[in-house]
Structure 1
Amino acid sequence: MPPYFYKKRKRGAVSMNYSQAVNWIHSRLKFGIKPGLERMEWLMNQLGRPHTNILVVHIAGTNGKGSTLSFMRSILQEAGYSVGTFTSPYIETFNERISMNGIPVSDSEIAQLAAVMRPLVEKMEEELEESPTEFEVITAMAFYYFGSVNKPDVLLLETGLGGRLDSTNIAEPAVSVITNVGYDHMNILGDTISEIAAEKAGIIKKGIPVVTAAENREALTVIRQFAAKQQAPLYELGNHFSAAAKSRGEYGEIFDYAAPSLQLTSLMTNMKGRHQVKNAALAIAALEVLPLSLSEKEIREGIRQSSWSGRFEEIISTPKVIVDGAHNTEGINSLIDTVQRYYGDKIVHMIFSALKDKPYQEMISLLSEASDSITFTSFDFPRAETAENLFKAAKVQHKSFEEDWKKLLLQKMETMREDDVLIVTGSLYFISEVRNYCRKNFLEK
């Protein structure tokens, strides 16, 4: 990275190491979620509007954002393009939220980026009496990094929450992507599918193409209305492009992709689940819109090599332990379909933990359809529900609870038979902890 971009900003400069930088960023959590773009616009103006200096793919949706982004990144890298990504939340390390070609920025880069941001934040608080949130600070860091420090050929930009008032929505994208629309974050986005879809569709810009895999009729109606109002060309899964799952392979799905300009047969993914076929097709369709050159071979190989941590990911093979960040009802439905598709003949045990603000009673009810036993647990997170409360909410048989998830995980692994499968699911924050613990303590992964 050229360090001079950081050194240029001497006025009000601060010096922080990595730990200090991350602690300062996380200290912004006290400001909560504050929808709106005014603070981001101010920060970008102070930084020279770096967000206008990048070819951006903007991705919103209830589920599938990370997987769709991963498919796009893999294809683009296979074609030799440099690819920046901005994602949330992180699974392994905080740094991965800002990555180049799949490699998270370094600790020193995080410290340097925070050092650029901190005096601007203090200036905003002094002059405007406004305080940017943690997510706004991280988003601003990403725009500065990709727009002024280490510019990629393409930036794949994932929204944090919703779209219309999300801090990423100051971007001027080359294409907008809406994966799907379902019930999540209803306390902020709205109580109906139409209201939630309106928030997601808020990323649609005037004249900018939008590609979607949304299938809900209410959601599609809203997306079509927004696209028409913005005179934005709209491409829909099942209408303008299609994906047909053919069979399941050993490691993932085999499917066909069809669009007027491109037909590909027997594409292979490295991710399991029919929902990943839709995500892969959405990725291909979105990339077709960009002014880039991609060959059939590059698309095939990119799809085959793509992976996404914490999404039906096998982290231990003996006994078989799989983690999946299904944190809402749509995610749970996809998980159930995948479990039945790949392990319908196995004894399936579930470990589940969730946040207090999630519709976990409905999620638990759905999970009971695909499991032989469910054990509830909790983890060290301010919004995590207790294992006992989850247990009490469950109207299912063969249930139990244990507050200590590490103790529970080891107990389950010790008692599993050779053909049993253990699915650890729920909050992505929980999945992240389990995944990292297993990777550190079991040598096979």
Structure 2
Amino acid sequence: MFQTYEEAVGWIHSRLRFGIKPGLKRMEWLMNRLGNPHKKVKTVHVAGTNGKGSTIAYMRNVLTEAGYKTGTFTSPFLETFNERISMNGIPIPDAEMLFLANTIKPLSDELEQTELGGPTEFEIITAMAFYYFGNHEKTDVLLLETGLGGTLDSTNISEPVLTLITSIGYDHMHILGNTIEEIAGEKAGIIKHGVPMLTAVTDERALNVIKRRATEKNADLFHDSFPVLKHEPLRGGERFDMKTPYHSFEGLEISMRGVHQVQNAALAVMALDYLRVHDLFAAGDEHIRKGLHQTNWSGRFEQVSEYPAIILDGAHNKEGAESLAAVMRRHYAGKRIHVLFSALKDKEYSPMISILAGIADSMHFTTFDFPRAACASELYEACTHPVKSFHEDWKEAIDEMMAAGESGDIYLVTGSLYFISEVRPYCRKISHGN
């Protein structure tokens, strides 16, 4: 038995060495031994290349505003490990995490002796989340984010009331496939028999895969029935009108920036409206307005300092970089922009670097303390921008980037969400005059 929270989290992280082992057999074994807690809570299952976290955050705030006890299972975390299992946006206490680890550890040891082998880090965390929310009498709804793909993701043992796919893009290709169709097929694996599917995917190749899967599963599909009708940027976010098959919404405002965030918010509103019309969760118009507007998602176009202007964004794939570049052009036209970038070595980082270099006055590269992090020099070599530098020490890289700029410039720190997690506290401490 673990005596401290630190011991428990250390054990969970130690399972990372088992890597990614696709398949649901280990999760089914664990859930069976735990009394199938995943069947005891109403769940909305969310997959997609980008936008999962933001879409869940919008839904969480609206449902919480409407008075529901709303659980979320998301990844990765930014500041505390407990963020991954949260209630109403508040990470569960350390004592609860310790209890959950001590509950799962004996089962993990037992499973390791079977032909299935021991569970991975993500399987253990998923089991902990299901056990917590399934046995927590106050959980009204669980918003469940896939870790990787969908079909063989450990979250896919859930029995949801609604499924969502936010977007399809090129990411985790070494596992999910090399084509949009293959990746879409993996994501569409969350579609369950008779369970409605909502998607913001517009790529026809991906959409055709989703349509076929929905037909096979006799699942109602909503993909073009919740259009954004009008959209304008605000100084602190976006304003838009939209309609669903059930209602029209005018002048909705969000505090996160970018066309992609409007799409995420519209998908969230469609999901909430569906749940309301079908008497699952009754979030009213005012709950929707208030919940959307107060939503912020740490590390997603997050301005952590005004003077100097430092923005953090976990754009960790090509589509994310394209959305980020579009937001920067839209909101910071005419400003000098300095970019600090770091990525995982198993990512297709060259296209990301090229996209970001297109908006940058200077490019800076670094690495961070993570087994799969790319070397700063490798990233530097992949960049053709004429003004560039690299430091293996990320604090030195941040300091050099800041020194390269002038008053009024914009400093953008981006790349892997694991990188953003590591540097965010330091960036938040930077203030004018340091």
Aligned position for 1:224? 211
Select 1:316's aligned residue among 283, 305, 312: 305
TM-aligned CA deviation for residue 399 of structure 1:
1.6
TM-score normalised per structure 2? 0.96
Contact 2:60-2:70 at 8 Å conserved across structures: yes
Of 345, 351, 356, the match for 2:334? 345
3-state SS of 2:242 partner: strand
Aligned CA distance change for structure 1 residues 334 and 129 (closer, same or farther; 3 Å): closer
What is the identity, as a one-letter code, of the residue corresponding to 1:307?
Answer: N
Is the Cα–Cα contact under 8 Å of residues 87 and 98 in structure 1 kept in the other structure?
Answer: yes
Q: Does 1:261 pair with 2:246?
A: yes
Q: What CA distance in whole angstroms lies between the structure 2 residues aligned with 1:68 and 1:74?
A: 10
Task: Note if 1:142 corresponds to 2:129.
Answer: yes
Give the counterpart letter for 1:325 in structure 2.
G
Once the two structures are TM-superposed, the CA of residue 152 in structure 1 deviates from its matched residue by 1.1
Give 3-state SS (helix, strand or coil) of 1:403's partner: coil
Inter-partner Cα distance in structure 2 for 1:397 and 1:443: 28
Give runs of aligned pairs for residues 21-420 of structure 1, distance below 5 A.
21-128=8-115, 130-236=117-223, 239-290=224-275, 291-420=280-409
Contact kept, 8 Å, 1:319 with 1:416, in 2: the verdict is: no
- How far is 1:412 from its partner? 2.7
Cα distance between partner residues in 2 of 1:220 and 1:84: 29
TM-score normalised to structure 1 length: 0.94
Between the aligned partners of 2:2 and 2:404, the Cα distance in structure 1 is: 51
3-state SS of paired residue (1:91): coil
- Stretch deviating more after TM superposition (240-249 or 41-50): 240-249
CA–CA distance in structure 2, aligned partners of residues 118 and 150 of structure 1: 23
For 1:159 and 1:336, the matched residues in 2 are separated by: 26
Q: Deviations over 1:259-288 (max 9, x none)?
A: 121111111101011100000000011122
* 2:416 paired residue number: 427
How much identity, in percent, do the aligned residues show?
A: 55
1:315 counterpart SS class:
strand
User: Following TM superposition, by how much is the alpha carbon of 1:442 offset from its aligned partner in structure 2, in angstroms?
Assistant: 5.0
- After superposition, give the CA deviation of every residue in 1:5-38 in whole Å (9 maximum; x if it has no partner): xxxxxxxxx3431011001111111110000000
What letter matches 2:29 in structure 1?
W
2:231 alignment partner AA = K
Q: Equivalents in 2 of 1:245, 1:275: separation in Å?
A: 14
Find the residue that maps to 1:241 and give its secondary structure. Answer: coil
Q: Deviations over 1:204-235 (max 9, x none)?
A: 00000000000111000000000000000000
With over 3 angstroms needed to count, the CA separation of the structure-2 counterparts of 1:53 and 1:22, relative to structure 1, is same
- Name the amino acid aligned to 2:291: G
| CA distance in structure 2 between the aligned counterparts of 1:439 and 1:72, rounded to whole angstroms | 27
Question: How many residues are aligned here?
Answer: 429
SS of 1:280's equivalent? helix
Paired with 1:244 and 1:303, the residues of 2 have a C-alpha distance of 17
- Once residues 247 and 334 of structure 2 are traced to their aligned partners in structure 1, the CA distance between those partners, rounded to angstroms, is 37
Unaligned stretches of 5+ in structure 1? 1-13
One-letter amino acid matched to 2:102? A
**Structure 2 regions of 5+ residues with no counterpart?**
none
Contact residue 97 and residue 104 of structure 1 kept, 8 A: yes
Change (3 A) 1:382 1:127: closer
CA contact 1:85–1:156 (8 Å) conserved in 2:
yes
Structure 1 position 185, deviation (Å): 0.2
Deviation for aligned residue 1:151: 4.1
Structure 2 contact 23–152 (Cα < 8 Å) conserved: yes
Deviation of 1:127 (Å)? 3.9
1:223 maps to a residue whose letter is: I
CA distance in 1, matches of 2:22, 2:71: 25
Shift of 1:160: 0.1
What displacement does 1:389 show? 1.1
Per-residue deviation, 1:129 = 5.3
The Cα of 1:140 is off from its aligned counterpart by 0.1
Query: CA shift at 1:158, angstroms?
Result: 0.2
Aligned equivalents of 2:172, 2:47: Cα separation in 1: 13
1:133 CA drift (Å) = 0.3
